[in-house]
Amino acid sequence: MNNSSKLSTRSTAKILSGTHNERTAHTVTDSPYIVRTIDELQKRVRKALKKTQQELNAQATEESPAGQSSLGFVPTMGALHDGHATLIRRAREQNEVVLVSVFVNPLQFGPNEDFDRYPRQLENDVALATEAGADIVFAPAVEEMYPAGAPLITVSSGKLGTMFEGKTRPGHFDGALTVVNKFFNILTAVRGKHSIYAYFGQKDAQQLSLVQRMVHDFNHSVIIKPVSIVREDNGLALSSRNQYLSSEERENALVLSRTLALLREKEITGRISESDLDMAREKINSTPGIRLDYLEVVDPMTFETPTENSQQVLALVAAYVGETRLIDNMELH
Amino acid sequence: MNNSSKLSTRSTAKILSGTHNERTAHTVTDSPYIVRTIDELQKRVRKALKKTQQELNAQATEESPAGQSSLGFVPTMGALHDGHATLIRRAREQNEVVLVSVFVNPLQFGPNEDFDRYPRQLENDVALATEAGADIVFAPAVEEMYPAGAPLITVSSGKLGTMFEGKTRPGHFDGALTVVNKFFNILTAVRGKHSIYAYFGQKDAQQLSLVQRMVHDFNHSVIIKPVSIVREDNGLALSSRNQYLSSEERENALVLSRTLALLREKEITGRISESDLDMAREKINSTPGIRLDYLEVVDPMTFETPTENSQQVLALVAAYVGETRLIDNMELH
C-alpha cells in the first residue's frame, strides 16, 4: 500500500463525518465574493474573463491593441496572512480576474497532523482576500471537491515527494498535488483562450518545485508564478501556523531565519562545509523549546545536494517550536 | 518504492537509448496526416476545430442553428486492427474533427513485457486510421512525450490499479493513466469552447473503468465514450497481440470467448455459482497450450465481487496462449 491509500481510508472517514463543512457553512455570512460549487465557480470565471475582455477591447486603440484578459489564481488553505496578501496583490497587478481558493484539503494532512486544529476563519479570509484584490473566493465543502469520498485516482509525487517534508509527512505532497491538479483542470476547462497564472509562495519551496514539475509532466496549460517569502521585521517567515505560537515560542522561532541568514553570509565568503551545517544545526537544537527536524543545503530543482552545475542553492530548515512545526528556507546563491 | 518508481528507472534507460523512435522516424514516408510534436498537434487541432465551426456556421439556418464543432479522440498504441477502426468510425460519426494517437508508451510496460516486441507499423496504422476517418494522426517520439526522461510526477491508479491486470502487470495502469492524462491536458489546452470525446474499447474493461474514474477524480473536461468489443466471426476478441499467435494458438484461444459466452448463458437461467466458475476455469486450463491467469465475475464499477446493488456484472478472463497474454470480457447482465 502506498501512502495515499493509507490516507484515503482516514480521509474518507473525515469526509463522510462532514463536521468541518457544516462549521464553515453556517458561521459565515453570505458574501457576493464567495462561491461554493465547482459549477458556479466555472460560470463566474468564464463570465469575468468575458467581461474584462470586452473592457480591454473597448479601451483598445490602433496604437495599443487589446491584450488577452487573464486569470490569476491563488490557492490557499485559508487562515490568510500578509504572506497570502502579497500573493493576491501580485495576482491583482498581473491579471484582469483574480481568484483565491480557500480549502483545507484533508488529503494533505497525515493521521497525527493538525487537520482538525488547522485554523478556519473564512469571514476574515474573505475580508483579507478581497481587500488585497480578489474578485472571487472559492470556498468549497470537502464533499464538493471529493463527492465520492477520497479519490481513487490520485497524483503521485514520486521520489521528490518522499524527501524532507515528505519524509516527515508521508502522503502530504501526493495530497497537495492531487487537489492542485483538480483546481487546474477545473479552471482550464473554462479558460478558453485566456491564460491562467497560478501564484505559489517560495516558503513552501518543495511544494513549489513539485507543482512546477507537475505542470511540466502533466502538460498543464497553467503558468506558475513563484513569489518570495514574506517575513516579519524580525525575520520570522509568515505562516498560518504562527498563530499556534506563544509569545515566548515566537521569540525562540527567530533562530530559524537567523541561522539561514548566517549560512547565506558564510556562502558569500566561501563554500559552506558540513561542519558549518553541523554548527548551525547545533545552534537551532540548543535553543529552548526547539527540536530540529532538518537543516540542509540543496539544489531546488532536484532537492539533492548541490553540484557544480546547480543554478541555485537553497538552505532548508524544518523544526518543531513547542508542538508547532515550522519551515523556512533561504536562497544562498 | 512504488511500482512507478521501479518502472521509471527502466523506462529512462529505454527512453534515453532512443532506439524505437529512430526506427519509427525513418521508416515512414511523410504523410500530411502525421503530426510528430505536441506544439504542431495543438495548432492543427485548434485550426481544424475553427475551420469546421465556420462550416457549421455557414450551413446553419434559423430553424437549425449551428452546434459546436467537437473533437473525437482515439488514443492507441498503434498496430491498428478492425477493433480500432470501429472506435475511429464511431468518432467520425459523432465529431467534426477526429484525432488518432499512435504511441507505444514505455511507462505501461513492465520489465519483462513486450515493449521491444510490441508491433510498430506506423505506415499501415496511418492508412487504416485515415481510411476509417481520422483527420490527424499524432505519432510522437518517446522524447516528445517525456522530454526530461521518465516523468517525476505520475498518476496513481490506487487499489483498482493493483487488481486483475494490475496484479500481473504492476505499474501498468499507472503508466497508462499517466499518458492518457497528458493527452487529455494537451488537447484540453486548445479546445476552447469545443467538446472533446475520447473513445475507449470495452475490451480493456479495467482500463476503461480507471479512465472514467480519473476523469471524475481529476475533473477532466473530456467525455468518455465506451465502445463494445469487436470480435472475429468465431468469437475471438480483436487484439494487437493476436499477431503473435500461430494458427494453432489462434484456434486454442477461442476457448476464452466461448467460456465467457457459456457463463452468460448460465447467468440468464440463474446465478453463477463458485463451482460453475471453477468448471469454467478448468475448461480453459485443460485446453492445450493455455494457462489461465484469472477468470472472475465482477462489478465493473469497483472490480469487486458483485453485490445485490450491482448495476452490471462482468466476466473477466486473462490467459497465456503460448507466450502471448490475452484478455477478454463479457457483460453477463
Residue A139, pLDDT > 50, answer yes
Residues of chain B with pLDDT under 50: 1-27
Q: What digits encode the pLDDT tens for the residues B37-78?
A: 999 999 999 999 999 999 999 999 999 999 999 999 999 999
> Quick check: helix, strand or coil at residue A104?
coil
Q: How confident is the model at residue A272 (pLDDT cuts 50, 70, 90)?
A: confident
Look up residue B72 and give its three cell numbers: 473525437
| Structure confidence at residue B159 (pLDDT) | 95
Give the position of cell 480521509: A11
- Residue in chain B nearest A218 by alpha carbon: B182
Find the catalytic residue in B20, B26, B84, B172: B84
Q: How confident is the model at residue A333 (pLDDT cuts 50, 70, 90)?
A: confident
> Quick check: helix, strand or coil at residue A153?
coil
The identity of residue B289, as a single letter, is G
| Structure confidence at residue B28 (pLDDT) | 54
Give the C-alpha separation, A207 to A205, whole Å. 5
Strand B71-76 vs strand B196-201: parallel, antiparallel, or unpaired?
parallel
For A170-179, what is the mean pLDDT? 97
A116 in contact with B, Cβ within 8 Å? no
Look up residue A208 and give its three cell numbers: 513549489
| Structure confidence at residue B199 (pLDDT) | 98
Give the C-alpha separation, B136 to A223, whole Å. 28
Give the position of cell 477520497: A150
Is B220 considered catalytic here? no
Look up residue B158 and give its three cell numbers: 490506487
Residues 180-239 (A) with a CB less than 8 A from some CB of B: 181-182, 185-186, 188-189, 192-193, 210, 213-214, 216-221
Q: What is the CA radius of gyration of chain B?
A: 21
Query: For helices A247-269 and A274-285, what crossing angle results, to 10°?
Result: 170
- Residue in chain A nearest B145 by alpha carbon: A217
Residue A321, pLDDT > 60, answer yes
Give the position of cell 543554478: A311
More confident residue, B287 or A112: B287
Q: What is the CA radius of gyration of chain A?
A: 21
| Structure confidence at residue A9 (pLDDT) | 40
Residue A24, pLDDT > 60, answer no
Look up residue A331 and give its three cell numbers: 536562497
| Structure confidence at residue A26 (pLDDT) | 42
More confident residue, A2 or A53: A53
CA triple A53-A55-A57, angle to 5 deg: 70
Which residues from A are below 8 Å from B177, CB to CB?
153
DSSP label at B237? Answer: B
Residue A8, pLDDT > 90, answer no
CB B234 within 8 A of CB B109: no
A41 in contact with B, Cβ within 8 Å? no
Give the position of cell 460549487: A37
A27 alpha carbon, distance to own chain's centre: 25
Which residues from A are below 8 Å from B186, CB to CB?
219
Q: How confident is the model at residue A27 (pLDDT cuts 50, 70, 90)?
A: very low
> Taking all residues of chain A, what is their mean pLDDT, rounded to a whole number?
91
Residue (of B318, B297, B315) closest to B306 by Cα position: B297
Strand partners, A98: A72
The identity of residue A220, as a single letter, is H
Secondary structure, 3-state, B22-49: HHHHHHCCCCCCEECCHHHHHHHHHHHH
Domains and CATH numbers, chain A: 3-227 (3.40.50.620), 240-331 (3.30.1300.10)
Residue (of A200, A243, A187) closest to A86 by Cα position: A200
CB B250 within 8 A of CB B236: yes
Look up residue A238 and give its three cell numbers: 509568515
> Taking all residues of chain B, what is their mean pLDDT, rounded to a whole number?
91
Min Cα distance B154 → chain A (Å) is 5
Q: How confident is the model at residue A205 (pLDDT cuts 50, 70, 90)?
A: very high
Q: Which residue of B214, B215, B217, B220 is the best one to mutate when testing the A interface, meaning the one whose CB has the most A CBs within 10 A?
A: B217
Residue A325, pLDDT > 90, answer yes
Give the C-alpha separation, B327 to B284, whole Å. 13
Other Cβ atoms within 10 Å of A202 Cβ, number: 19
A59 in contact with B, Cβ within 8 Å? no
> Is B121 marked within a binding site?
no
Lowest mean pLDDT among A26-30, A57-61, A285-289, B25-29: B25-29
DSSP label at A158? Answer: T
**Cβ separation B153–A157 shorter than 8 A:** yes
Residue A7, pLDDT > 90, answer no
Give the C-alpha separation, B239 to B253, whole Å. 12
Give the C-alpha separation, B255 to B239, whole Å. 16
Backbone phi, psi, residue B295, to 5°: -140, 115
Give the C-alpha separation, A27 to A25, whole Å. 6
Backbone phi, psi, residue A38, to 5°: -60, -45
Helix-strand-coil split of chain B, %, nearest 5? 45, 20, 35
Give the C-alpha separation, A244 to B167, whole Å. 46
For A21, B8, B35, B106, B108, the CA distances from B111, given in Å and listed in that order, are 46, 10, 29, 10, 10
Contacts of B40 (CB under 8 A, 6+ apart): none
Contacts of B12 (CB under 8 A, 6+ apart): B149, B150
Other Cβ atoms within 10 Å of B190 Cβ, number: 19
